[in-house]
């Protein structure tokens, strides 16, 4: 596969942009090799600047649930653009998208649009702190909620701890009110609440984590999160930036039967344009300015292009049977990968929910961050490189989710699976060489 133009662009980009990319994981650091520079996308396919075609399992990390260049989204965006791209004043499109979201997610009675998932999570925490009059938040190790200072945090020494900054430039004070707990471990969360419950404003979590690879929550763990929040007066913030409108029409909260106090959204609700949102119970959201005293603003928030793309995207996934089909496709890919790995005698665990999956290169079940971290990341890197060579574009990290869209037809998946058969063999054959 010729990648000359990508490599030349990457070299140039590295002189102009830190690491050559505008978001770190894109640089392929975890798997090696130069990132592909993309020229265009169409349905389930990506085309790079050297003319190579790939079946895309990244789908811009989640927004493109209908595939690339989805005609209804393109039409909505171009119609909106013709009328002007931003006014800094309210438009009917914001009301329409807000109605679609609150209609699909009953726990969201009011919603505020922002421009990214990072902004949405940061703002939801601010309003939760204002509502409860408390400062502490609980975050789970391995969950990701964007790069706001208070959330760029890792566990300090000891199991349950106050977090320490996970990036230079984040002052210790910014993470001093963030408690870190292990995901899916009920006892640990109970201890956190025993020690600090009365001071906890909110627990924020990915209902089905995608950022340590796809991991299903234990039902008793989710029930404990809800119960402990209720008992102590803390708010439960569901981060559905990835799972919202993907795992089910009403998000993972619908699929799992959990009612959060606040929900953080992004990705699909912008149809591929920059957007985020947070929303929840009316009495909480009424605190947000100008209705209430909690300040939060944005020049381009709710801009007509993002709103129009979001409306087109959400409307299309209301088609009858949409999520059933997406679930069937995901199960087909996951099942195929399991079988092929077994044939190649490569120990893997494939976790999947509707629209997202991860192939963990470990033989043990993956229910915690520690389980995920037991994966053989070098085997994953070999698998990734072999898949890329065979025209399959996977997330360039073991600890990410493959995204499935409605454009991934059976025929396209049939192209992927033979590539995976060879890639698993490659991963196994090369094992031990490096
Ligand atoms: N929350 C979750 C669960 C995410 O996966 C992400 C980003 N992938 C974010 C928040 C942050 O969103 P953004 O990159 O739009 O700021």
Do the beta carbons of residue 211 and residue 244 sit within 8 Å? Answer: no
Buried b (16+ CB within 10 A) or exposed e, 93-104: bbebbbebbeeb
Decide: 48 in ligand 1 pocket, CB within 6 A: no
Decide: 144 in ligand 1 pocket, CB within 6 A: yes
- Which of 56, 139, 261, 267 is an active site residue? 267
Query: What integer pLDDT is reported at residue 432 of this predicted model?
Result: 52
Is 364 known to be catalytic?
Answer: no
- Which atom in ligand 1 lies closest to the alpha carbon of residue 267? 15
Going from the Cα of 174 to the center of ligand 1, the distance in angstroms, rounded, reads: 19
Distance CA 328, CA 311 (A): 25
Domain ranges of the chain: 4-69+321-433, 71-317
Do the beta carbons of residue 308 and residue 79 sit within 8 Å? Answer: yes
- Which atom in ligand 1 lies closest to the alpha carbon of residue 143? 3
Query: What integer pLDDT is reported at residue 367 of this predicted model?
Result: 98
Decide: 192 in ligand 1 pocket, CB within 6 A: no
Ligand 1 probe mutation, 214, 241, 274, 306, most atoms within 8 A of CB: 241
- Which of 239, 261, 371, 376 is an active site residue? 239
SS (H, E, C) 107-118: CCCEEEEECCHH
Distance CA 268, CA 61 (A): 10
Single out the residue of 189, 113, 125 nearest to residue 152, CA to CA: 125
Decide: 121 in ligand 1 pocket, CB within 6 A: yes
Architecture per CATH, domain 4-69+321-433, reads as Alpha-Beta Complex (3.90)
Model pTM score = 0.97
Single out the residue of 51, 36, 49, 371 nearest to residue 185, CA to CA: 371
Single out the residue of 328, 223, 275, 272 nearest to residue 113, CA to CA: 275
DSSP state letters, 274-328: S-EEEEE-HHHHTTBTTTSSB----TTTT-HHHHHHHHHHHHHTTSTTHHHHHHH
Q: Which residues of the chain have pLDDT under 70?
A: 156-161, 430-434
List pLDDT tens digits, range 315-346: 999 999 999 999 999 999 999 999 999 999 99
| CATH class of the region 71-317 | alpha beta
């Amino acid at each position: 596969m010729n990648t000359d133009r990508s490599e030349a662009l990457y070299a140039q980009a590295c002189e102009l942009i830190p690491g050559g990319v505008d978001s770190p994981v894109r640089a392929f650091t975890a798997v090696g090799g130069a990132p592909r520079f993309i020229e265009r996308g169409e349905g389930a396919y990506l085309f790079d600047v050297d003319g190579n075609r790939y079946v895309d399992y990244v789908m811009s990390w989640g927004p493109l649930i209908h595939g690339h260049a989805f005609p209804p989204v393109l039409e909505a965006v171009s119609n909106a653009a013709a009328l002007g791209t931003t006014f800094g004043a309210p438009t009917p499109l914001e009301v329409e998208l807000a109605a679609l979201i609150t209609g699909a997610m009953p726990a969201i009675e009011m919603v505020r649009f922002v421009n990214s998932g990072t902004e949405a999570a940061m703002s939801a925490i601010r309003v939760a702190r204002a509502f409860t009059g408390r400062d502490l938040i609980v975050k789970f190790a391995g969950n990701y909620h964007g790069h706001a200072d208070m959330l760029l945090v890792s566990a300090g020494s000891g199991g349950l701890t106050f977090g320490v900054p996970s990036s230079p430039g984040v002052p210790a004070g910014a993470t001093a009110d963030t408690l870190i707990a292990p995901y899916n471990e009920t006892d640990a969360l109970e201890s956190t609440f025993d020690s600090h419950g009365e001071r906890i404003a909110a627990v924020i979590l990915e209902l089905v984590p995608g950022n340590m690879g796809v991991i299903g929550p234990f039902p008793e763990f989710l029930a404990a999160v809800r119960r402990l929040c209720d008992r102590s007066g803390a708010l439960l913030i569901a981060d559905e930036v990835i799972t919202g409108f993907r795992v089910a029409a009403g998000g993972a909260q619908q699929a799992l039967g959990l009612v959060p106090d606040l929900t953080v959204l992004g990705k699909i609700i912008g149809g591929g344009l920059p957007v985020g949102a947070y929303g929840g119970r009316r009495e909480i959201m009424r605190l947000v300015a100008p209705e209430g005293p909690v300040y939060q603003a944005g020049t381009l928030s709710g801009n007509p292009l993002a709103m129009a793309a979001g409306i087109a995207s959400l409307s299309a996934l209301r088609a009858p049977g949409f999520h059933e089909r997406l679930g069937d496709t995901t199960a087909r890919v996951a099942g195929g990968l399991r079988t092929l790995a077994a044939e190649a005698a490569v120990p893997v665990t494939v976790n999947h929910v509707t629209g997202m999956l991860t192939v963990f290169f470990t033989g043990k079940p993956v229910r915690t961050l520690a389980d995920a971290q037991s994966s053989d990341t070098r085997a994953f890197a070999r698998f990734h490189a072999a898949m890329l060579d065979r025209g399959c574009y996977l997330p360039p990290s073991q600890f990410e989710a493959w995204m499935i869209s409605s454009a991934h037809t059976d025929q396209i998946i049939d192209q992927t699976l033979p590539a995976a058969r060879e890639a698993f063999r490659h991963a196994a054959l090369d094992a031990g060489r490096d």
